[in-house]
Structure 1
Amino acid sequence: MSSITIGIVQAGFDDLPAENAGKAIDIVRKNYKEAHIVVLPEYSMLNPLKIGDPRLVYSYSETPLTSRYLTEMAKLAGELGVFILVHFIEKTDTPPLTMSTSIIVTDRGEAIPVYSKMHLFDAYGFRESSFFKPGDAPGKIISIKGVKIGFTICYDLRFPELYRITALMGSEIIIVQAGWVKGPHKEEILDKLASIRAHENTVYIVLADQTGDMFVGRSGVFNPWGYRELDLGWREAYAEYTIDTSLISEVREKLPVLQQSKNKWEIRRLMQ
């Protein structure tokens, strides 16, 4: 079996990419110990919901090949010898819409897009579709230290089919980058959804959420039994957590839901 140490950044981020990059770099550089991958939350490059104007968001967006934001993250990744999962506001050729994209920055400076958000947050009075084009496919499965990792973003948590697909594609850990907006019972809902997605798919869920005046925080780790193993609370924080995948095998032996899934043949067809 394999193990992997994941660093989770929980913080509040503002409007400008340069300022947000500086804050993320400062947090990680001061607190990093031995993580193999560090996860930043959703909207950690810039926050469209705070900015409010899709045209202004588009003007701040970047392309991966020429991004100053990714260049700064690549310097940090190389300095520490770590992978960094960033949330990137990606410029498109259909202004003012951008893409909400998860990108892994490797310790060699490569920027690897792994997922673009499929389910946009058009709820509770917000309309992410005013800012973003939706992604059209589940994320890539990436192996780090022999552990297979899948990727989702925030509102995706409300769509169990994406997590089942990602688990059947081989994920042992599914990372959720979130900007979970505050509201009545929203903390409890986030906790329950992450717990259920972990248990019903017998995977670890690693949640990196923003905090501050707009978001609930409560980042952490949920094991395949659905129990929360790490809770970062409500304040800005950084934590590293080591996951041993032997528990996944143990849970899947006792609870073989992925083997019993009636739609796994369709998932395999999609993967061909």
Structure 2
Amino acid sequence: MSARPQPPQRPAVRVTVAQLEVGQDRHANLLAARDALRTAARARADLVVLPEYACAFDPRGVGVELAEPLDGPFVSALREDAAAHGLAVVAGTTVPGGEPGADGQPRAHNVVVAVDAGGQVAGVYRKVHLYDAFGHRESQRLAPGPLDAPPLVLDVAGLRFGVLTCYDLRFPESARRLVDAGADVLVVPAAWASGDLKAMHWRTLAVARAIENTAAVVAVGQAGRGVVGRSLVVGPDGVVGLELDDVPQVRTVDLDADELRSVRERNPSLAHRRYAVVPRG
């Protein structure tokens, strides 16, 4: 039996980081997202990453009132533009349909949608770790995703991008599960809440996830009220190659596939593991 053909791997894969400011005005948010895709296309990017809650956001909490289905205007527009520009998209949004909470009130799902360069939905990740910390109670408005759902890993130009979101960054087993599924790059759309030490936590955790997994990390935060922004791209050796401040920006970087292979050859820590990641149930 012949080996399964692999997609051609480029010397570098171009990724656009879209650090957007998102509010409750869906139309304005969609215009900003589409403009980011146009910017990515002009830069000849292979992938554009939008933040968590890119469809609509309220720093006081997001639930069913800001949710829309996957066939709604936001994801439909991303699919249309991805196909038109020939680039993949990873974006956070909120969809209805979560199990009601303990109080019987309806809840939504916080999701990350991956769209391939042909405009097809390649996968959907429903956030597992809800942000019930630092005075927030995300679980009052959102239902957690299933623990046993297959990891979301998207192939782009010969690199594999594993998807997690925001609070998941604090759980190293989530990142390791994606690497076990073949991820070379960890993509983290976020609306990282501001507060004491929070920007430092965000940066430190992104760097740690890169070093311990010998994987690049593309951590894309929201800008604006109640969130830190500060998107960053970290190499598999832990070196920060791009770091933004707290205002809206769209920037494009190249990820070097040869560098990833070289780092993993010099530091084969993934091969030295003695424990596996399994759901707690």
Q: Same fold (TM over 0.5)?
A: yes
How far off is 1:146 after superposition?
A: 1.1
Amino acid at match of 2:85: L
Please say if residues 151 and 176 of structure 1, whose CA atoms lie closer than 8 Å, have aligned partners that are also in contact.
yes
1:196 aligns with 2:208: yes
Deviations 1:122-166 (A, max 9, x none): 011111111211112363222111111100101111101111121
**d(CA) in 2 for partners of 1:10, 1:26:** 12
List, as ranges, runs of 4+ consecutive aligned residues in structure 1 with deviation greater than 6 Å. none
In the other structure, the counterpart of 1:23 is: 32
Amino acid at match of 1:18: H
How far off is 1:213 after superposition?
A: 2.0
In the other structure, the counterpart of 1:140 is: 152
In the other structure, the counterpart of 1:242 is: 254
How far off is 1:83 after superposition?
A: 1.3
Identity of aligned residues (%): 29
In the other structure, the counterpart of 1:206 is: 218
CA separation of 1:68 and 1:160: change in aligned 2, threshold 3 A: same
CA separation of 1:108 and 1:249: change in aligned 2, threshold 3 A: closer
Please say if residues 116 and 139 of structure 1, whose CA atoms lie closer than 8 Å, have aligned partners that are also in contact.
no
**d(CA) in 2 for partners of 1:41, 1:78:** 20
How far off is 1:93 after superposition?
A: 5.7
Aligned pairs (5 A) from 1:159-174: 159-174=171-186
In the other structure, the counterpart of 1:78 is: 83
**Length, aligned pairs only:** 262
CA separation of 1:68 and 1:169: change in aligned 2, threshold 3 A: same
1:156 aligns with 2:162: no
**d(CA) in 1 for partners of 2:94, 2:200:** 28
Amino acid at match of 2:195: G
**d(CA) in 2 for partners of 1:59, 1:132:** 11
**d(CA) in 2 for partners of 1:167, 1:235:** 31
In the other structure, the counterpart of 1:219 is: 231
Deviations 1:152-205 (A, max 9, x none): 101111101111121122110010001111111211111111001000010000
Amino acid at match of 2:205: L
In the other structure, the counterpart of 1:116 is: 126
**d(CA) in 2 for partners of 1:260, 1:243:** 25
How far off is 1:30 after superposition?
A: 4.4
Moved more, 196-205 or 32-41: 32-41
SS at match of 2:77: helix
SS at match of 2:129: coil
**d(CA) in 1 for partners of 2:57, 2:123:** 19
Structure 2: gaps spanning 5 or more residues: 1-8, 101-105
How far off is 1:17 after superposition?
A: 2.5
Pick aligned residue for 2:45 from 22, 29, 35 = 35
CA separation of 1:113 and 1:188: change in aligned 2, threshold 3 A: same
**d(CA) in 2 for partners of 1:215, 1:49:** 8
TM-score, with normalisation over the residues of structure 2?
0.87
**d(CA) in 2 for partners of 1:146, 1:79:** 21
How far off is 1:48 after superposition?
A: 4.6
SS at match of 2:130: coil
SS at match of 1:92: strand
**d(CA) in 2 for partners of 1:155, 1:227:** 22
Higher helix share: 1
**d(CA) in 2 for partners of 1:172, 1:109:** 22
